Amino acid sequence: MAGLRLSWTCAHSNPESSKFLSRFTAESSFRCTWTRLPLFRTSVSSSARRKLCIRNVANDQQKELKERVNGEVVDDCDTFFPDSESIAASIKYHSEFTPSFSPEGFGLSKAFYATAESVRDMLIINWNATYNYYEKMNVKQAYYLSMEFLQGRALLNAIGNLELSGAYADALRMLGCNLEEVAEQESDAALGNGGLGRLASCFLDSLATLNYPAWGYGLRYKYGLFKQLITKDGQEEVAENWLEMGNPWEIPRNDISYPVKFYGEVISGADGSKQWVGGENVTAVAYDVPIPGYKTKTTINLRLWSTKVAPEQFDLNSFNVGDHANAYAAIKKAEKICYVLYPGDESLEGKTLRLKQQYTLCSASLQDIVARFERRSGESVDWENFPEKVAVQMNDTHPTLCIPELIRILMDVKGLSWKEAWDITRRTVAYTNHTVLPEALEKWSFPLMQELFPRHVQIIEMIDKELIHSIIAQYGTKDLELLQQKLKKMRILENFELPDSVMELLVKSAEEPAVDLVEEAESIDEESLPDKEDESEDKVTVNKVDASFKVDPKHPRMIRMANLSVVGGHAVNGVAEIHSEIVRTEVFSDFYELWPEKFQNKTNGVTPRRWIRFCNPDLSRIITKWTGTEHWVTDTEKLAILRKVKLFADNEDLQSIWKEARRRNKLKVVSFLEEKTGYLVSPDAMFDVQIKRIHEYKRQLLNILGVVYRYKQMKEMTLEEREAKFVPRVCIFGGKAFSTYVQAKRIVKFIVDVGATVNNDSDIGDLLKVVFVPDYNVSVAEVLIPGSDLSQHISTAGMEASGTSNMKFAMNGCILIGTLDGANVEIREEVGEDNFFLFGARAHEIAGLRKERAEGKFVPDPRFEEVKDFVRSGVFGPHNYEELMGSLEGNEGFGRADYFLVGKDFPSYIECQERVDEAYRDQKRWTKMSILNTAGSYKFSSDRTIHEYARDIWKISPLLLS
C-alpha cells in the first residue's frame, strides 16, 4: 500500500462531529509499504449515515511506488514512512472504530488505547511477514520457555523500535495530548516478578533485533504476582488489575488451543504402548503479543497460554436447581491455573496449583511446537530431524516437565520407541540455571507428581534408570561406597530403592567382580547357577548391597527437577562466570565430572534499547554525540571508546553536560518520589538505591542496618560535625517480598519504620532520607535507574547467580557498591577496580565462615552489636523487632545464626560506605567514575548474550526479512 486517502461524509448536523472531521480526518493520508489493501467501503451506521471510504491511491499512481531516500532508489514496498498527520488519523480511527471506551471525550486513557492499537496495526504487518517467512523457509527456531516475562510498558518501547517516537509525539500533540502522559496510562504487564522475567523480556528484544528466528512461551496471569501497598504495617498485597481495561497488545488466537490433562491413569496396549486416559481436562488457549526488533522488520512472538474448559462442562442442571457453585466448579478450577504467578505453596493445594501451572506451560507449548514442526515438514515428517529444526530453552527449572512431556508426545502420540524419543529429547532441550539456593532448585513430592502426572512419572523413572546405568558405566561397581555417594547426589528420584535390574547387577558384581558382566549375562546357563550350599554366602552378599543402598523410610520420596533438567538436556549454563563456576564445582559437580561437555557460561545481559536509549534519552544523546555514532544502541562495544580518559572521562566539557543530564534525571526522581510516597527529597543529595526482590540473601537488611548506624552516628554529633562527616543521602528501596516469606516482610516493615523516624527528624533534615517505593516494577526502574548515583548489589557472595539490575545501573553511569558475587565480578573487571566499591567476604570463604559460626568462634564487631541494641531500644516505633534481630544471633538453628553473614560483612560494609562519601565529595572524580561505568558496560548487552546462545546452544542463524 503506497498511499491511502481517507475521506469522511456525514449527513447529520452534529457540530462536534464536524469539528472531528475537519480537524482529524479531512484528506489524511499515510504511506504503508508492506502490503497493498484493496479499495473498500465500510458503512458504520445507517442511522448516523456516516461513511468511511478508503481508496488505494497507488493503483492510480504507480510512479509513487519508488522514491529517492538519501540519493538511493528505494522500493516503497520495503520502507514505511508514516507522518504525524496519518498517525493522528489512525489514532482517531481506533478511538471511533476499535472502541474500548464510550464515545464521549478523548481522555488520556482512551488516547492510550487508541494509540497502542494504531501501533499494533504496524506491528502486525511485520509480525505476519516474519511468521510467514519462517514458515516458508522452514527455519530452525528457538523457543524460550519461562514462567515469567517482566515486560514493562510496551508503547514507548514499540514506537522507539519502529523509529516513530517523534512522529507519534507530534500526532498526539495534534490531538491535544502529550506522548509521555499518554504512555503513563499503560499498566505494566503483570507477567513476572524479578530478574528471571526481565531477562526473558530482554532476550526477546534482542532476538527480534538480531533477526534470530525465535518465540517466547509463557502463561497469561490474570492477577500477576500482586500489587504491593506500603502502609504503617509494612507490605500489604492486593490483586493486580492490569487486565481490567484490557490489553491492547495481545491478540486472542481462539483457533489455537490444546488439551492439557491432569490425574487419570495409564493403560497398556497389547503391543506394549502406553496411553494416558481419564482424569481432569482443561484447554490452553493462545494469546499472542508482538515483540518488535529495533530498526528491523523482524517482529517475533510471545505466546501466552490461558486456561478454560469446554462449555459442556458447565453443569446447567445444577445451576437451574440453585447449586451454582457446583455448576461452574470445573470452570473455576481451570481458570485458576492462570490466576496468579507463583501461588503460595505452603499447602498441598498450593503445590498442586504450581505444578499444574508448570505443566500447562510445558504441555501446551510443546504441542504447539510439534504441530508447527509437522506442518512445516509437509507430507514427509522425519522425527530424527526434529532437533535440527527445534531448540527448546528452559529458563530455570520451572519448565522441566518439558522433558518427560516431549518424550510422552513422541512415544505415546507419534509412536516412536523409547530410544528414539529419549535421543531426540536430549538433543532438543537445554537448561539455564539461575540459582544456587536449594529451595529454588525445585523438588516435588513423588506421590503428588504420581497422582497428577502418572505417565510422566513412569517416564521419569525410565530416565532415572538410564542415569543409574550411566553412573555405573562411569564409576564401575567395585567401590560400592563411592557408587552410593554418586547415586545419592545425582539420582532424579530421591530416597528411592534401586531398580531390581540394577540390584541384580550390583549383587553379581559383588560376587564376581573380575568377570565381565555383559559376557557373563550372554553365556549364562543352568549349570552355572550356584549350588544350594552357596545360598548363605549369596544372602550375605545381597544383604551387603542392600545395606549400601538402603533408603530412609522416615524421609519423603521426592523428584529432583534440577537433576532431571541436567540429565534430559544437551546443555546446561550458568548466567555469570562465578555462578557457572559454582554450578560446575559445587551445585552439579558430579554431573560435570560425568558430562563436562554439557556445561557452559552465558553471562546475562540487558537490552540497551529499553535500559538506556529509551529510558535515558538525555544521556543517550550525549553518548551519540561524543562517540560520533548511534550504532552503540545495537553494538555496545562502541561505548568502550569512552574509556579513553583524556579524550572523554577527563574532558571538562563532557563532564559538565554529563553531570547536567544526570541532574535532570534526578529531578524526575524527586517528582516521582513525592508523587508515590509523599516524601520530598533534595536533588543535591546522593541517591543511593537498592531495588530488587526482597530476600535475605540479597541483604536489604545489611543496607538498612548500615543506614541505622549512619543515623545513630548523626544523632550523637553536632550539626557541624554531621555536615563535615556525611554527604547528604537519599536511601531508596524498592521490591516485593513474597506473600508467604515472613522474614522478607519483616525487612520491609523495618525499612518503612526507619524511614518514618528518620524523615521526620528535624535535627537530620536533608542529610539523610529513607524512602521505600511501593509496587516496584519495570516502569519504576525506568525512572529510578537513570537518576541514581550509587546502586547497592550486596548479596552474600556466591548466592546471586548474576543480577541484571547491576548492568542497567552501570549502563546509566551509576556507580556500584557490592560484593564479588554474580555479574558484579565481571562488571568490576570491565569498569575498573577504582570505579567499583568492593567489600565483604569472597564466595570461597562462605562455607568456612558458616562452619566457624556453628562452632561458636564468630566474634561480632562492636558496631554491629551497637546497631542491634539501638533497634531494640524502640527508637523506630513500638513494633517488636526481636525476631528480625534474633535471626542474626546464635550459632545454629533455623532462622538464626546469621546464615547470610550480615554481621560478618557489616564492618567492611560501613567502612566501604565511608569511602563512598569521600568519593562523592569530589564531583569531578565521581563524574569521571560515572562515565567509565557507562563505558565499561559494553559487555553486558543481551545482544551479546543471545549471540552466544544462538551460536553455542541453539545452533540457529539470523534470518533477515527481505
How many whole angstroms separate alpha carbon 767 and alpha carbon 770?
A: 11
Give the pLDDT confidence score for residue 534 in this predicted structure.
52
- Higher-confidence residue of 78 and 364: namely 364
Nearest in space to 302 (alpha carbons), one of 224, 367, 205: 205
Pick the catalytic residue from 804, 819, 927, 945.
804
pTM: 0.89
Region of poorest pLDDT, from 110-124, 304-318, 559-573, 743-757? 304-318
> Which residues are 42's β-sheet partners?
52
Distance CA 206, CA 607 (A): 7
- Which one of the listed residues 110, 140, 434, 455 is annotated catalytic? 434
State the pLDDT confidence band at 668, using cuts at 50, 70 and 90.
very high
The CATH class of the 665-843+861-884+907-940 domain is alpha beta
pLDDT at 334: 93
Q: How confident is the model at residue 536 (pLDDT cuts 50, 70, 90)?
A: low
Mean pLDDT of the 397-405 span = 98
Confidence of residue 38 (pLDDT cuts 50, 70, 90): very low
For residue 603, what pLDDT band results from cuts at 50, 70 and 90?
A: very high
C-alpha of 282 from chain center: 26
Residue 549 burial (C-beta neighbours within 10 Å; 0-12, 13-18, 19+): middle
How does pLDDT run across 879-913, given as a tens digit for each residue? Answer: 999 999 999 999 988 889 999 999 999 999 999 99
Q: pLDDT band at 522, cuts 50/70/90? A: very low
**SS3 (DSSP) at 848:** helix
How far apart (Å, rounded) are the C-alpha atoms in residues 226 and 363? Answer: 26
* pLDDT mean over 567-585: 97
> Which range, of 529-538, 586-595, 648-657, 799-808, averages the lowest pLDDT?
529-538
Active-site pick, 153, 808, 853, 904: 808
For residue 99, what pLDDT band results from cuts at 50, 70 and 90?
confident
pLDDT per position as a tens digit, 57-75 = 333 333 333 343 344 443 4
In whole angstroms, what is the distance from residue 236 CA to residue 723 CA? 37
Sequence-ordered alpha helix ranges (H) in 57-107: 84-97
Q: What pLDDT does 6 receive?
A: 37
851 is catalytic: no
- Confidence at 375, pLDDT banded by 50, 70, 90: very high
Averaged confidence pLDDT in the chain: 89
Percent above pLDDT 70 for the chain: 88
Task: Please answer whether residues 722 and 765 qualify as being in contact, where contact means their C-beta atoms are separated by less than 8 angstroms.
Answer: no
Cβ neighbour number for residue 959 with a 10 Å cutoff: 17
Query: Please, are residues 457 and 449 in contact by the beta-carbon 8 Å criterion?
Result: yes
Nine cell digits for residue 661:
543530564
**Judging by DSSP bridges, how do beta strands 214-219 and 141-145 pair with one another?**
parallel
Q: Is the pLDDT score of 143 beyond 60?
A: yes
CB atoms within 10 A of CB 583: 25
Maximum distance among all alpha carbons in the chain?
113
Beta strands in 181-224 (DSSP E): 214-219
| Residue tagged 513430592 (cell numbers) | 445
Spot the catalytic one: 693, 828, 853, 904: 693
Task: Answer whether residue 947 shows pLDDT above 50.
Answer: yes
Annotated catalytic residue 274? no
Identify the band that residue 285 occupies on the pLDDT scale cut at 50, 70 and 90: very high
Q: Report the alpha-carbon distance of residue 423 to residue 766 in Å, rounded.
A: 65
Residue 926: C-alpha distances to residues 622, 686, 816, 828, 835 (Å)? 18, 11, 12, 16, 9
Angstrom distance (rounded) from CA 82 to CA 79: 10
The DSSP line for 6-22 is: EEEEE-S--HHHHHHII
Q: Give the pLDDT score at 541.
A: 61
Active site residue 796: no
The domain segmentation of the chain, as residue ranges, is 83-137+153-187, 665-843+861-884+907-940
- From the candidates 297, 491, 602, 692, give the one annotated as an active-site residue: 692
Average pLDDT (690-694) is 97
* Core vs surface per residue 639-665: b (16+ CB within 10 A) or e: bbbbbeeeebbebeebbebbbebbeeb
Spatial CA neighbour of 486 closest among 475, 478, 497: 475
* d(C-alpha 564, C-alpha 577), whole Å: 23
pLDDT of residue 542: 67
Q: Are 159 and 121 in contact (CB under 8 A)?
A: no
Q: Which helix (H) or strand (E) holds 686?
A: strand 686-691
List 426, 584, 698, 746, catalytic entry:
698
808 is catalytic: yes
- In tens, the pLDDT along 832-873 reads 999 999 999 999 999 999 999 999 999 999 999 999 999 999
Let me know if 692 is a catalytic residue: yes
Residue 103: per-residue pLDDT? 86
Q: Are strands 729-734 and 768-773 parallel, antiparallel or unpaired?
A: parallel
Whether 698 is a known active-site residue: answer: yes
